[in-house]
């Protein structure tokens, strides 16, 4: 498992996650900086992302949409707030209308990406994500990140199935 | 009041539908009744009523009487299952990290094959 640490602060609605990769910071940076590579990891196979604009400079914008199994296409964007290639990115993730204009009714989630050189071709990437409030988080997860919920449902099903097997065995 | 333990099956089942997620989002402000909510969708009043009933059973919304009106309001208790949401968000990123790792491994393999 490459995720090495996760810290969650419910009160302040922040999550920090560290991961380590067998790759240089420059190579990890490319996962963010190359829109074709970004498309291959941002959304899961069931909810792939299509990046339609990609300007990773301060003040720039990255525009994308996801395509759900039912053909639904939530649109979203990042505002690029800070960039220090290949070590740091500060992005504000928001939802957009179908024409790409920001949907101001929807909450914004800000996250910071930090890529540290660990030497010998290894890097650590940290994601620090902040939500403005619980309602915003609920919206974000319910609206544009249903893949998270779908995955969770699968996991919950698996846990329930295990529980059933375990109690079956105990009998 | 404690909602313990949350019925995740029902909760996520209720959230597995795009219209119901949209109703939850709209009902955060809690200003609209079922009829007004129904106006946002190209489906029958009865269909929207059914969605609201599913959300109600999952504890995600409540119907609140304000004067002569009944408004649908997202239940802050359910929304405050923020811990769970944070866990989902964590899962989302773990999925991304896994795909990033696979992608990096892919490009390493390509390099080795090239040699």
Tell me which chain A residues have a C-beta less than 8 angstroms from the C-beta of B95: 44, 147-148, 151
Nearest chain A Cα distance for residue B85, angstroms: 7
DSSP A151-162: HHHHHHHHHHHH
What pLDDT was estimated at residue A107?
59
Q: Are the beta carbons of A74 and A67 closer than 8 angstroms? A: no
Please give the model's pTM, rounded to 2 decimal places.
0.60
Q: How many CB atoms lie within 10 A of CB B6?
A: 16
What pLDDT was estimated at residue A145?
47
Superfamily classification of domain A3-170: START domain (3.30.530.20)
Nearest residue in chain B measured CA to CA from A131? B86
What pLDDT was estimated at residue A101?
83
Measured CA to CA, the distance from residue A23 to residue A119 in angstroms comes to 10
Of the candidates B18, B22, B93, which has its C-beta nearest A127's C-beta? B93
Quote the strand ranges of A22-156, DSSP E. Answer: 49-54, 61-66, 75-84, 88-96, 109-119, 122-130
What pLDDT was estimated at residue A59?
96
Q: pLDDT tens digit string along A137-164?
A: 666 665 444 444 344 333 333 333 333 3
What does pLDDT average to over chain B? Answer: 79
The answer to whether ipTM exceeds 0.95 is no
Where do we find the tokens 């800000």?
A110
Any idea what DSSP says for residue A68? Answer: -
Q: pLDDT tens digit string along B90-111?
A: 888 888 999 999 999 887 766 5
Q: Which of residues 40-99 of A touch B (CB under 8 A)?
A: 40-42, 44, 70, 72
Angstrom distances, CA of residue B68 to CA of B27, B35, B97: 18, 14, 52
C-alpha gyration radius of chain B? 20
Higher pLDDT, A44 or A142: A44
Tell me which chain A residues have a C-beta less than 8 angstroms from the C-beta of B82: 10, 13, 134, 137-138
Whether omega for the bond prior to residue B5 falls within 30 degrees of 0, making it cis, is yes
- Tokens (6 digits) for B57: 């059973």
């Amino acid at each position: 498992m490459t995720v090495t640490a996760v810290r969650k602060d419910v009160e302040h609605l922040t999550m920090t996650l560290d991961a380590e990769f067998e790759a240089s910071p420059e190579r990890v940076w490319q996962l963010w900086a190359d829109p074709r590579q970004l498309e291959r990891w941002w959304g899961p196979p069931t909810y792939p992302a299509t990046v339609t604009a990609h300007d990773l400079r301060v003040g720039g914008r990255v525009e994308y949409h996801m395509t759900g199994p039912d053909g639904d296409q939530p649109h979203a964007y990042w505002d690029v707030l800070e960039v220090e290639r290949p070590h740091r990115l500060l992005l504000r993730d928001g939802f957009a209308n179908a024409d790409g204009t920001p949907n101001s009714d929807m909450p914004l989630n800000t996250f910071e990406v930090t890529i540290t050189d660990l030497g010998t071709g290894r890097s650590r990437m940290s994601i620090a994500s902040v939500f403005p409030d619980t309602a915003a988080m609920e919206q974000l997860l319910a609206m544009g990140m249903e893949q998270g919920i779908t995955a969770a449902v699968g996991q919950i099903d698996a846990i329930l199935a295990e529980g059933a097997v375990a109690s079956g065995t105990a009998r | 009041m404690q909602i313990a333990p949350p019925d995740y099956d029902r909760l996520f089942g209720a959230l597995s539908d795009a219209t119901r997620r949209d109703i939850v989002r709209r009902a955060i402000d809690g200003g609209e009744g079922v009829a007004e909510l129904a106006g946002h969708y190209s489906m029958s009043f009865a269909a929207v009523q059914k969605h609201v009933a599913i959300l109600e059973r999952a504890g995600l919304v409540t119907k609140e009487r304000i004067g002569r009106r009944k408004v649908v309001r997202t239940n802050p208790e359910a929304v405050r299952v923020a811990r769970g949401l944070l866990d989902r968000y964590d899962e989302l990123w773990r999925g991304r990290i896994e795909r990033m790792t696979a992608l990096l491994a892919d490009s390493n393999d390509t390099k080795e094959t090239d040699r």
